[in-house]
Amino acid sequence: MSALDPAPSPQHAAVLSLATTVAHKFGGSSLASAQRYAHVAGLLRGRDDAVQVTVVSAMQGVTDALIALGDAAVAGEDWQPHWDALHEKHRTAAATLLGTHADITLAWLDAQFQDLHAILAALTLLGASGEPALARVHGLGEVWSARLLADALRAAGDDVAVLDARNVMEVGRNELGVVVDWDASARRLAAWRHEHPQARVVVTGFVARDAKGAATTLGRNGSDFSGAIFAALFEAAELHIWTDVDGVLSADPRAVPDAVYLPKLSYDEACELAYFGAKVIHPQTMAPAIARGLPIVIRNTFNPAHPGTRIDAAGDTAALLPAKGLSLVSDLALLNVEGSGMIGVPGTAERVFATLHASNVSVVMISQGSSEHSICCVVRAAQAQTGRAALERAFAPELAQGQIQKVTLEAGISVLAAVGDGMAGTPGVAARFLGALARARVNLRAIAQGASERNISVAIAAADATRALRAAHAGFWLSPQTISLGVIGPGKVGAALLDQIAQSAPRLLRDTNLDLRLRGIADSRRAWLGEHDSGDWRAKFDAATPSDLDAFVAHVHAAHLPHAAILDCSASPAVAAKYPDWLAAGIHVITPNKQAGAGPLPHYHAIRAAAAAGGARFRYEATVGAGLPVIQTLRDLLDTGDELHSVEGIFSGTLAWLFNRYDGVLPFAQLVREAHALGYTEPDARDDLSGTDVARKLVILAREAGYALSLDDVQVESLIPPELVAVSAQEFLDRLGDFDDAMRARFAAAQAQGNVLRYVAAFDREGRAQVGLRALPASHAFAHLQLTDNIVLFSTRRYCDNPLVVQGPGAGPDVTAAGVFADLLRVATALGARV
């Protein structure tokens, strides 16, 4: 056995030890050049099959070239240059492959091509299609390919027989396609085998004979079918189909890069996946294998060490996930026959399908509600107009009389199918499938599920197809749950958030299958757009281009990714003004920006309405208590039926630090300058001392509790002396000391009463809201805070004697970023991630 060929499992080895024959089939991509023929020959020689039957396709591209040659000859076009090119291609391959052993093969090829030349000349002269002649032309590639591989094996010293399938396999045709005459084919094979007992046999795929002995073909994908037929005729223990992928994947890797390899499938699962677009194996190939219980193994010629996908009657009984894979069929259209006159009338469905059958229109999917008011069929897009015209003719009397209201055609449809034996009898599979599509904002046009429960198919708009496939794939945990991220405002909070995501993303992908895909960073001047870049985000943003917010959001909200989230870490009202549009488009918005939650009431209501209608999440926990669960705690109280009496709190880490430190000795202005130097204040310290920011947080909580409160409704005490309102930020800091006496007097008055000063926000059940400096007893909960701690007291019907307290650091980029990150993970959980 070749070092490239993996050792079989003990169970597999036990089967092969009893086997007399193993069949192999190699496609055109495996036989694309002389080097590939040599590779295949080495692969076959490295195996220990007792009897080895190898069915081959033509060299890659040759069948298409032969069809084009035949068509050109029939049309009277000049086919000579293409004949020359094809002749030279095979001569070059033979010479390179066989070297000094090539003379006999080259002479044989020259004779073959002279025969082809004569056939083409006759077709040109006749000027009409001779089907037997064309069938003979179309199948020559397999004849040449079989000879090349056999001669490569002979040159290595093997005794090899070449079987021309046209001498053995007899087929006919009916409405369902090719039908094999098994008895006649078996008799011919037995006679041929008597004359050719070699252990290695190379067989021409794709070609066959009819009952009259004329050459014919099995149609496109016929070589795979030939592989299964000859595996059955030779009574092989297994059929290995060698292709250019490692096996069957859970989805098309071009649409789902994270598609996973499936080690085992049942025949039923493979048929479903094959019909719905999995091109690794054709459904027709399965029939001989299913009838005889013949296992099929899909292998990779370019990676023979990989075990591939085994397809048999049992499938993977140990699989934990109900769905094995998802397939997508595109270029479809939806035909719908609708009318009240159809209800309860027998035979309507029969007329619909008989009409489509008579018009040679293939039906991909059928859906009908129990009301019988409509019947919809998904058909190939190229046949859709023909189908609609046929239905309109067939139901013309009913349309004229109003018994049937309309026959409609909707183009641009794809069908997405979830497939798996484990779906049968498993509750919630449809909910998981359809829920994943709903969270990705994919609208369903029709649904169909067979009684076997191993396939659920949905018709969707083609524009949503890739997003739907990726969302469903992640919904069944076959691939990571992917969220496209765009971060606006990479300042202190935004930078901390980007660092936290960069640090945590690999762990989240590894441990929870959550793929947080940073695809954009923007500020007011510039933007960086990427795909799935890791590494130093700062270096990428340094190379950013001028910012276009709409283009930025369009890039983040990519059609090929199931979910998108904008993380707005700015304080911009212009950015917040975009939230309703983003949410309506299905983009999740997560922010510490208070401009939305505390902005004008109509805008706030528009945000909530857009989130409710669009299904996107609006998360803003960090707007009130940075990383503290303030809003979530309030929501939990109200959602569980509690009644809010009042909310009191210290919502500014900056003001908390100032009054925790202020003792009447050290000037208040000096503390403000120290806080500014430490970065606790905003660049303009008046933004903190004005109380407006605290008032915004109170408004957000009041609105969360159901009150239509606006910022103008809050009584706010500003700590900014009126004389310093209009000066520059630096002049404010320089002159604030001139007003220290007023603050010292307030502190002394409070101290004389045994009180402390704290900047407090309060809201009660009557809707009264106020923010300002209060003197509180030294025993009060607000009197013993640490540094920049925030604290919130919820007084409710349940917590009336002893209020519920939420306390902790409420300022600083890291904790605020952590609050935003936590909201992002909550959104991911709602989307189906297992965080």
Catalytic, 89? Answer no
390 in Cβ contact with 339 (< 8 Å): no
Residue 760 to residues 463, 471, 595, 694: CA-CA distances in angstroms?
52, 46, 21, 9
Nearest by Cα to 432 from 370, 364, 478, 378: 478
Handedness of CA 390, 393, 397, 403 (dihedral sign): positive
Residue in 25, 578, 594, 697 annotated catalytic: 697
Residue 200 to residues 33, 53, 166, 203, 217: CA-CA distances in angstroms?
22, 6, 19, 10, 24
> What single-letter DSSP state applies at residue 237?
S
Q: Residue 137 class from Cβ within 10 Å (0-12 exposed, 13-18 middle, 19+ buried)? A: buried
Q: Which residues contact 495 (CB under 8 A, 6 or more apart)?
A: 538, 813
Neighbours of 232 (CB within 10 A): 21
* HEC assignment per residue over 566-606: EEECCCCHHHHCCHHHHHHCCCEEECCCHHHHCCCHHHHHH
Tokens of 648: 């009191």
User: Measured between alpha carbons, how far is 252 from 211 in angstroms, rounded to an integer?
Assistant: 40
Handedness of CA 417, 422, 425, 429 (dihedral sign): negative
Beta-carbon-side half-sphere exposure of residue 56 (alpha carbons within 13 Å): 32
User: Measured between alpha carbons, how far is 46 from 55 in angstroms, rounded to an integer?
Assistant: 17
Question: Element (H or E) spanning 45, and its range?
Answer: helix 34-45
Q: Cα angle at 313 between 312 and 315, to 5 degrees?
A: 70
The residue type of 347 is G
Residue 288 backbone phi and psi in degrees, to 5 = -60, -35
The radius of gyration of the chain's CA atoms, rounded to the nearest angstrom, is 37
353 in Cβ contact with 337 (< 8 Å): no
User: Measured between alpha carbons, how far is 447 from 680 in angstroms, rounded to an integer?
Assistant: 57
Residue 783 to residues 649, 650, 757: CA-CA distances in angstroms?
12, 11, 8
739 in Cβ contact with 721 (< 8 Å): yes
Residue 113 to residues 109, 116, 118, 121, 651: CA-CA distances in angstroms?
6, 5, 9, 12, 88
Tokens of 325: 């894979």
252 in Cβ contact with 311 (< 8 Å): no
User: Measured between alpha carbons, how far is 341 from 334 in angstroms, rounded to an integer?
Assistant: 21
Could you give the residue numbers annotated as active site?
A: 697
